[in-house]
Amino acid sequence: MSVNNDCSPQSGGRYIESMVENYREKEIVCGTDVVEIRHYYLWGSKKVPYGSIKGVQRVSLSALKGRARIWGTANMGYWANLDTARPSKKEGLVLDLGKSVKPFITPDDVDHVESILRDRAGLGPAGPTIAGPFI
């Protein structure tokens, strides 16, 4: 794929995105090399290279276990990106990056995102869904 990051008048002001997308929604973008978790920080996105993902755990949500948390955390071991639709969702994913804080995401299509993450991170098959952490 040819990439043109030049937005100068000589290039016609065109910009071609260099990250090929395989999944895109308002909060999550799965590209070829990274997963972008939008609205993770107050100031923007968190980009996670697939190679840094050590594990993915599917979790079920309940009022105190993620569903009521739109952004942030009450448990310093996890961090939830901004997702105003989270109260209506039933499942999410916890990403183990080998660090003390694990990103907690709730994509619209949990099956598809989990499949992409497991495939590109070289992880094995999914285990059972467990109750979400207190967030």
- Residue in the structure block whose two tokens are 């003390």: 100
* pLDDT confidence bin for 41, thresholds 50/70/90: very high
Residue 109 has pLDDT above 60, yes or no: yes
Mean pLDDT along residues 46-63: 97
Both structure tokens of 118: 């497991």
Both structure tokens of 62: 């309940």
**Among 88, 93, 85, which Cα is nearest to 115's?**
93
Mean pLDDT along residues 106-135: 94
Task: Please give the pLDDT value at position 11.
Answer: 39
Q: Are strands 91-96 and 55-60 parallel, antiparallel or unpaired?
A: antiparallel
Mean pLDDT along residues 37-57: 96
**Among 77, 70, 106, which Cα is nearest to 91's?**
106
* pLDDT confidence bin for 3, thresholds 50/70/90: very low
- Nearest-5° Cα angle at 106, 79 to 70: 55
Residue 12 has pLDDT above 50, yes or no: no
Q: Is the CB of residue 50 less than 8 Å from the CB of residue 120?
A: yes
User: Following DSSP, what letter does each residue of 109-133 receive, concatenated?
Assistant: SHHHHHHHHHHHHT-------EEPP
